[in-house]
Amino acid sequence: MDRVKATAAKHHLWVLEDCAQAQGAKYKDKTVGGLTEFGAFSFFPSKNLTVLGDGGCITTNNAQMAERLRMLRNHGRQGKYDHEFPGYNVRFNEINAAIGRVMLQHLDGFNDNRRRIADRYNERLKGLVQTPLERPWAHAVYHMYVVGCERRDDLQKFLKERNIETGIHYPKPNHLQPAVTGRFPFVPKLPRTEKAVKEILSLPIHGQMSLDAADQVCAAIAEFYGRKQE
Ligand SMILES: Cc1ncc(COP(=O)(O)O)c(C=O)c1O
């Protein structure tokens, strides 16, 4: 982020942080969404902070932009009948907002639990799969716990047969999505990305998951690779 901010400052640009998967995460002790001018958060049901439905929010410490964003959200309206500019209908449902306020009180606890699960996975999966690296300046909130592994599809099937649901985030990289390829005259070659999408596997993790459940996942992975785990 220091490099992003420096580049933005040099070219007189604003930075908008995509914090969709990072509610509560920190960079050098500062919470994301507050590192730059804007932070965009998603409350999509799988996210660390959910509202029992879809939603999201933007954070900013720029009062003028905050006012403009509030208006954009509501058809460019100020007051009841004055539309200053064209906007959108992206008003947030009040019931979901009320649920989000309650969920916010649990966010730190849920994130702490995600970190506990990640620590357990790190400890027990060492040498079996490639575990994620947390840099010293980072405080991750493990929206996902993604490992790199050999024979990924077989491992996923093996886990599924044992009722362990996993995910692949994502099987098709952005630069190969028709929504993107259609917009450019050529498709770039990103061999590392294309290799990674065949090896990644997202293991179960959530705010209320138990260490016992994590141990079961680790034992099943160890079994798949022919290793025994106490
Ligand atoms: C990194 C990232 N950015 C943006 C989004 C989009 O969020 P939403 O679906 O709430 O618009 C997501 C959601 O999956 C995401 O994971």
Whether the pLDDT of residue 185 is over 90: the answer is no
Report whether residue 18 contacts ligand 1, using a CB cutoff of 6 Å.
yes
Cross-sheet strand order for the sheet of 56-60: 16-18, 38-42, 56-60
pLDDT band at 230 (very low <50, low <70, confident <90, very high): low
- Report in angstroms the alpha-carbon separations of 147 from 8, 71, 126, 164: 32, 42, 10, 15
Please identify, by atom number, the ligand 1 atom nearest to the C-alpha of residue 42: 10
Q: pLDDT value at position 188? A: 87
pLDDT band at 192 (very low <50, low <70, confident <90, very high): very high
Please identify, by atom number, the ligand 1 atom nearest to the C-alpha of residue 55: 10
If residue 41 lies in a helix (H) or strand (E), which one and from where to where?
strand 38-42
Whether the pLDDT of residue 229 is over 80: the answer is no
Closest C-alpha to 43, from 105, 112, 104: 104
Whether the pLDDT of residue 184 is over 90: the answer is no
Residue 101 has which token pair? 């306020």
pLDDT band at 228 (very low <50, low <70, confident <90, very high): confident
Q: What is the mean pLDDT of residues 55-69?
A: 96
Give the residue, out of 21, 46, 88, 141, with the most ligand 1 atoms within 8 A of its beta carbon, to mutate for a pocket test. 21
Return mean pLDDT, the chain: 95
Of the listed ranges 19-33, 67-81, 176-190, the least confidently predicted one is 176-190
- At a CB cut-off of 8 Å and minimum separation 6, what does 70 contact? none
- Whole-angstrom Cα distance, residue 136 to residue 27? 9
Report whether residue 50 contacts ligand 1, using a CB cutoff of 6 Å.
no
Q: What is the mean pLDDT of residues 140-148?
A: 98
- Whole-angstrom Cα distance, residue 31 to residue 205? 21
Q: What are the pLDDT digits (tens) for 92-136?
A: 999 999 999 999 999 999 999 999 999 999 999 999 999 999 999
pTM score over 0.85: yes
Strands 77-78 and 82-83: antiparallel
Q: pLDDT value at position 48? A: 96
Torsion region of 142: left, alpha or beta (phi above 0 gives left; psi -120 to 50 gives alpha): left
Whether the pLDDT of residue 209 is over 90: the answer is yes
Task: Give distance in angstroms: CA of 87 to centre of ligand 1.
Answer: 21
Assess contact for 136 and 28: CB atoms under 8 A: no
Residue 89, beta-bridge partner list: 74
Residue nearest to atom 3 of ligand 1 (CA): 20
Closest C-alpha to 25, from 132, 138, 113: 138
Residue 136 has which token pair? 């010293």
Q: pLDDT value at position 145? A: 98
Report cis status (omega within 30 of 0) of the bond before 170.
Answer: yes
Q: What is the mean pLDDT of residues 151-170?
A: 98
